[in-house]
A and B are shown apart, each in its own frame.
Chain A
Amino acid sequence: MHDLAQVQELFEAALNRPREARREYLDELDIEPGLREDVWSLLEAHAAEGPLDQVAAALAHVTDPGPEGAEADDGRSPPVHVGPYRIHEAVGKGGMATVYRARRDDDESTPWVAVKVVRADADSERVRRRFMAERQILARLDHGRIARFLDDGLTSDGRPYLVTEFVEGERLDRYCERVAVDLERRLTLFLDVCEAVEYAHGRGVVHRDLKPDNVLVTADGEVRLLDFGIAKILDRSAFPGIGKPTTTGVHVLTLSYASPEQLRGDPITPSSDVYQLGLLLVRMVTGRVPPVHERSVEPFTVQLAGRTTSPSSPQDEKRLARLEAIITRALALRPGSRPASVEELRAAVEAALADSAHDLAPSTTIEPGQGDTLDLRLVGLGLLVVAVLIVAAVALMG
């Protein structure tokens, strides 16, 4: 057994080099062969998906591989064919499926598509039902800012797959840091995201997993909303045969972007998307999201001024102040205190962007005389009790 600190040091040094240069780098070091192979085997383990990843995915439903996890092009061995599609590379993975970049047959002239395949280790009746639901949801959605559904089928070993348009783009948050550096551009992008979510809501679909990983920006600066993998259809009467209604919204969630009702396991309404859009906007403007333990406290007030990752003009300062108020409302613990719809949220942000003279009075949505604004501390305390009771109630429901 080698000194782990030394092994780690070499491992990191090698990792900082391009993948194809790592072996050579190790070979040229004057170290004993055993140590070299030790480090090499770790580099191989790093590049592939291993048993730990499978346990972790099953355990905590870690759907967010984090900024370091986007190494899907790193040496895993993907299937060669899925249906008529030839797999090019893995581009993402979740708790229940892997997404590949692929092309129909070997025809170089056809566009890239994204093929999402149920993982062999995650295949179950439940996952299949979920997949069916996603298929039906995607087939309902036809919008320029939502990755389009193209095809579906079964792999040779009988696992379901879905095919959508492949979106060549950059994660929204990275795009903001790299390209959309000024506040105005960021807000415009956010409005585009809102538009797509609003459309989905109009079709009875709640996304439930809005986070930077699921919003890409193309080279042309166009927003694309991805991954309706845990989305849910609200108006079930219009979509027969999709399975039982869910008593709880907690399926797979990413703690960083989970809404309070998702954490509690309450039924999910479009308001959960409003909340997640609020978090997304904080991330776009400040480069980070408030951790769950900070935003679980009522009253929670969003602070943007002085925390932006974009340069702020005097006009931006005014906008930020308005955005703070808007997002604070969007991040209310109780869905009823948030903007009533994405449309309302979008209109408020639009007004802040336009810096229009008339203020968006909160009294238009909060009935005057209601306890809502009377004593927030009391409300917060009550909410906690309610939250605990709801958890208990949901648990009791058969």
Chain B
Amino acid sequence: MDESPDVTRILQEAARGRRDAVDRAMPVIYEELRRIAQGHLSRERPDHTLTTTALVHEAYMKLVDINQVDWQDRAHFFAMAARQMRRILIDYARRAGRAKRGGDAVLVSLDEATDFPVLRSESLLRLDEALERLEQTNERQCRVVECRCFVGLSVEETAEALDTSPTTVKRDWAFARAWLNRELGGDPDGEDA
């Protein structure tokens, strides 16, 4: 019924240490998240708010047979989804930036996403750049920020998703948060209304 790769199986393989399984899962997760996000954004719903948390959960329910994966696989799904969520939002922000400058009529629906003004601000793109720099010095801290900010996972959930302890996540988060706040605080302009 479904010709796309089986994420449930991929998660099981990833759990057995197959690195390429993760690489295969990423695009599927990306595509599903993007599709769901687009669906939400393009429909006029007067009182809805798009939350990344809800999006990721929706993708999870669609892609994974929850009776066949254990809790660790599920946690890993959230970690992968966090990375893809970041990519999707950055893609939106880039296109919004282009649309603002007069090109790209494709993404008309973005104007309707009034509940998500962050997509139309430069701050998201700057966060992405700062995260890339952080990733080069400390990859795990970058992953922690993705889980916390892009999916809204708690400290405990982030720890499970990244196979580490809550204490480590708390430390990483405290430092990465301060570092990013400082990095992003340097340039006060660049915000749009």
- Interface residues of chain A, those whose CB is within 8 Å of chain B, are 4, 8, 11-12, 15, 41-46, 48-56, 58-62, 64, 66-68, 124, 126, 243-248, 250-256, 258, 263-265, 288, 291-294, 296-297, 377, 380-381, 384, 387-388, 391, 395-398
Contacts and interface: CB of A to CB of B under 8 A. Distances in A.
A42 B178 contact: yes
A46 B155 contact: no
A42 B118 CA distance: 25
B45 to A, nearest CB: 6
A138 to B, nearest CB: 21
A248 B48 contact: yes
Contacts of B51: 60-61, 250-253
Interface string B93-137: 000000000000000000000111110000110110000000001
Interface of B: 39-40, 43-49, 51-54, 57-58, 60-62, 66-67, 71, 74-75, 77-78, 89, 114-118, 123-124, 126-127, 137-138, 148-157, 160, 170-171, 173-175, 177-182, 184-185
Nearest to B170: A68
A265 B54 contact: yes
B174 A62 contact: no
Nearest to A122: B117
A51 B123 contact: yes
Of the listed residues A4, A44, A59, A377, the one surrounded by the most CB atoms of chain B closer than 10 A to its CB is A59
Given A68-B174, A292-B157, A45 B182 contact: yes
A254 B152 CA distance: 8
Contacts of A46: 174, 177-178, 181
A117 to B, nearest CB: 19
Contact of A248 (B47, B118, B150): B47
A67 B166 CA distance: 11
A15 B49 contact: no
A263 B61 CA distance: 11
Given A60-B53, A263-B57, 20 more contacts: A11-B178, A15-B174, A42-B175, A43-B178, A44-B182, A50-B180, A52-B149, A55-B127, A59-B52, A59-B118, A60-B148, A68-B173, A124-B117, A256-B154, A264-B57, A291-B156, A293-B75, A293-B78, A391-B58, A396-B43
B52 A50 contact: no
A-B interface, 10 closest residue pairs, ranked by CB to CB distance from nearest: A50-B181, A60-B152, A293-B74, A51-B184, A58-B118, A46-B178, A45-B182, A45-B181, A52-B180, A56-B149
B61 A388 contact: yes
A208 to B, nearest CB: 13
Given A55-B149, A395-B40, A64 B154 contact: yes
Given A247-B45, A377-B67, A53 B58 contact: no
Give the dominant DSSP class at B's interface: helix
Give the dominant DSSP class at A's interface: helix
A387 to B, nearest CB: 6
A288 B156 contact: yes
Contacts of A254: 152, 154
A166 B44 CA distance: 40
A36 to B, nearest CB: 15
Contact of B118 (A11, A55, A253, A391): A55
30 contacts: A11-B178, A12-B174, A42-B182, A45-B182, A46-B178, A50-B181, A53-B181, A55-B127, A56-B148, A58-B116, A60-B51, A60-B152, A61-B49, A62-B149, A66-B154, A68-B170, A244-B47, A247-B45, A251-B51, A255-B154, A258-B53, A263-B53, A291-B160, A292-B157, A293-B60, A293-B75, A297-B66, A388-B62, A395-B43, A395-B45
A86 B52 CA distance: 37
B179 to A, nearest CB: 6
B54 A297 contact: no
Contacts of A398: 43-46
Contact of A293 (B71, B89, B175): B71
Contact of B66 (A50, A384, A388): A384
Nearest to A125: B114
A87 to B, nearest CB: 23
A99 B71 CA distance: 37
A387 B61 CA distance: 8
B124 A42 contact: no
A48 B181 contact: yes
Contacts of B74: 293-294
